[in-house]
Amino acid sequence: MDKRALLENIKLFVLDMDGTFYLGERILPGSLRFISRVRETGRRFLFFTNNSSKTPALYIEKLARMGLAVSREDIVTSGDVAIDYLNRRHRGASVYLMGTEALQKDFADAGLRLVPGEGADGDPRGRPDVVVCAFDTELAYAKLERACTYIRNGAVFLATHEDINCPTEAGFIPDCGAFCAAIELSAGRSPKYLGKPNAETADKLLALAGVPREALAFVGDRLYTDVAAGVNNGMAGFLVLSGETKAEDAASSDIKPDAVFRDLGEIADLL
């Protein structure tokens, strides 16, 4: 099936952000044209980012600076998926969040019972039931030490997403998956990941989408998160070459995208 025929079946595009729609503070070529074409053809878009260092409100502000006005309903993050999962599977549990102040506020506003991270030296008041590792751009050694201690002492270990690096205009910086690797080596436990490409993310987006599974496409610059979220969950997975993944990476990968595009502008041209 050619690219145009594949796109004909898609009613909702789930867009990655970093490396797909923008890179750092720079919007990528064709991104706004893609949004216009999606709207013109009666389709829908939804942003989903594994980047849990910021809240949806901050992403709304960032997109507005780039010329795109969106609402809260247009953005979902791996932090949102983690909040849903905790409220469903660990309701009432105490949670230690290794995350930014912005994400801490989102968790608290959702009614989750956060512990401040004191007591890693043995004070039982500081022992949480669950540790959540996020993309903590405010990471300090004390946070990492507490997370390892709590997990070693039996806390459930969750992670918002498994991205190893986050793309920026200056290159790549360590992301949540890299932090989790350090914790695994120290505490001897692996986390349950909740963001792309995992079923918890696919299920949440399907519930929001109101379209059949086969009418939803994940679009992004990473094979192991964006594309895998689609192809592993009965949806389409489209790769764009505007971020982390190069054409030669896609050719040699076990994860096979349904289609590969230069960028969002190429998709717009085919809609």
Domains and CATH numbers, the chain: 3-50+196-270 (3.40.50.1000), 79-193 (3.40.50.1000)
DSSP state of 266: H
Tokens of 170: 């200056």
* Percent of the chain whose pLDDT exceeds 70: 96
For residues 1 and 7, the answer to whether their CB atoms sit within 8 Å is: no
Instruction: Find the angle CA(228)-CA(233)-CA(237) to the nearest 5 degrees.
Output: 45
pLDDT tens digits for 210-234? 899 999 999 999 999 999 999 999 9
Mean pLDDT of 125-129: 79
Q: For helices 78-89 and 101-109, give the axis angle rounded to 10 degrees.
A: 40
From CA 63, how far away is CA 163, in angstroms rounded?
22
Q: pLDDT-derived band of residue 1, with 50, 70 and 90 as boundaries?
A: low
Tokens of 22: 């923008």
Which contiguous run of DSSP H or E holds residue 15?
strand 12-15
Size of the chain in residues:
271
- Give the pLDDT score at 119: 46
For residues 49 and 16, the answer to whether their CB atoms sit within 8 Å is: yes
Phi and psi angles of residue 239, each rounded to the nearest 5 degrees, phi first: -100, 135
Mean pLDDT of 98-118: 90
* Cα Rg of the chain (Å, integer): 19
Mean pLDDT of 13-24: 93
- Give the pLDDT score at 120: 45
pTM: 0.89
pLDDT tens digits for 41-89? 999 999 999 999 988 998 999 999 999 999 999 999 999 999 999 999 9
Q: How far apart are the first and last CA of the chain?
A: 15
